[in-house]
């Protein structure tokens, strides 16, 4: 029989005692493991590994699953940086909030029955729409879709549970966005009335992130890109080939898109005029 510690590791680090008991772990086993410091009792009937993410533990103490941006980050969904230290908890449709020390949790209620641990990606996206900006939600939604973390059924559920005013964003979203930066740029340019062709293959150049106005290539580079001289050289070769074919190329990095958007716009608008876009 697996130990309580081994069972908890199998279930993501946290579980209800009733679930552990289904695998032969008795109350005496759990009490002994708590006394020995192998596991911790979060609240009556809920147990966790000692080094589990404290936000997950707090959400379980509150009565549900960690949701919203933190649950998405845990699944490696792209999320805009923020300083939000609050714990967002999914309580299901009718789950009960449990009093706990220092509670400043934000409760989310929606269809379903919450357990403990992390909320599903679809559930976390529904709650993220309520808490994030529209562009941050859009980037997270496209990231989850691109990483195949949400199914067609999940997307139908999200569409049904979000308000009608969110429909235009879901219609704009694509599954082939390679990074949150691409999603942000396309979202923001859409609001400026600028449409983009996405993931375009150009003879002699290769695949580029966007083409605007038929002749302006726009590339966005994440923080991990250009870590080597070879990568930089390859980009210069591509840009030269694009120029030889009549294209102009603009490249923007993470800091420009996230923190200096006005400068990005000031670069794109004149370039569109020059290329006839």
227 pLDDT higher than 70: no
Least confident of 63-67, 154-158, 177-181, 229-233: 229-233
121-131 and 134-146 helices cross at what angle (nearest 10)? 170
Class of residue 70 by CB neighbours under 10 A (exposed 0-12, middle 13-18, buried 19+): buried
65 pLDDT higher than 90: yes
Least confident of 56-65, 108-117, 177-186, 228-237: 228-237
| % of the chain surpassing 70 pLDDT | 96
pLDDT band at 1 (very low <50, low <70, confident <90, very high): confident
117 pLDDT higher than 70: yes
Query: How far, rounded to the nearest angstrom, does the alpha carbon of residue 58 sit from its chain's CA centroid?
Result: 21
Condensed to tens digits (0 to 9), the pLDDT of residues 248-274 reads 999 999 999 999 999 999 999 999 988
Number of CB atoms found within 10 A of residue 126's CB: 25
Please report the domains of the chain, with CATH numbers, ordered by start residue. Answer: 1-51 (no CATH), 53-175 (no CATH), 177-277 (3.40.960.10)
Residues 173/142, Cβ–Cβ less than 8 Å? yes
181 pLDDT higher than 60: yes
17 pLDDT higher than 60: yes
Buried b (16+ CB within 10 A) or exposed e, 231-254: eeeebeebbebbeeeebbbbbbbb
Query: What is the rounded average pLDDT for all residues in the chain?
Result: 92
Cα distances (Å, whole numbers) of residue 193 to 43, 196, 211, 275: 52, 10, 14, 17
- Tell which residue, 264, 259, 174, 175, has the closest CA to residue 219: 264
Question: What's the rounded mean pLDDT across residues 97-121?
Answer: 94
């Amino acid at each position: 029989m697996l130990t309580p510690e081994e069972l908890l590791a199998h279930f993501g680090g946290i579980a209800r005692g009733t679930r552990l008991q289904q695998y032969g772990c008795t109350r005496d086993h759990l009490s002994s493991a708590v006394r020995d410091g192998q596991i911790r009792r979060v609240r009556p009937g809920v147990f966790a590994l000692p080094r589990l993410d404290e936000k997950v533990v707090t959400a379980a103490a509150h009565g549900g699953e960690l949701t919203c941006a933190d649950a998405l980050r845990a699944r490696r969904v792209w999320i805009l940086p923020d300083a939000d230290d609050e714990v967002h908890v999914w309580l299901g449709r009718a789950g009960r909030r449990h009093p706990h020390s220092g509670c400043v949790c934000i409760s989310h209620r929606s269809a379903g029955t919450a357990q403990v641990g992390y909320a599903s990606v679809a559930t976390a996206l529904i709650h993220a729409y309520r808490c994030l900006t529209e562009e941050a939600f859009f980037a997270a939604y496209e990231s989850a879709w691109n990483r195949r973390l949400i199914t067609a059924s999940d997307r139908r559920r999200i569409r049904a549970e979000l308000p009608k005013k969110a429909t235009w964003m879901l219609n704009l979203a694509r599954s082939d966005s390679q990074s949150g930066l691409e999603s942000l740029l396309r979202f923001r340019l859409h609001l400026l009335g600028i449409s983009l062709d996405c993931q375009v293959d150009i003879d002699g150049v290769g695949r580029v992130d966007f083409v605007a106005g038929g002749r302006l290539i726009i590339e966005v580079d994440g923080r991990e890109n250009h870590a080597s001289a070879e990568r930089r050289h390859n980009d210069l070769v591509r840009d030269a080939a694009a120029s030889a074919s009549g294209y102009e190329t603009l490249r923007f990095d993470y800091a420009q898109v996230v923190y200096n958007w006005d400068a990005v716009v000031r670069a794109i608008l004149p370039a569109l005029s020059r290329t006839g876009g």
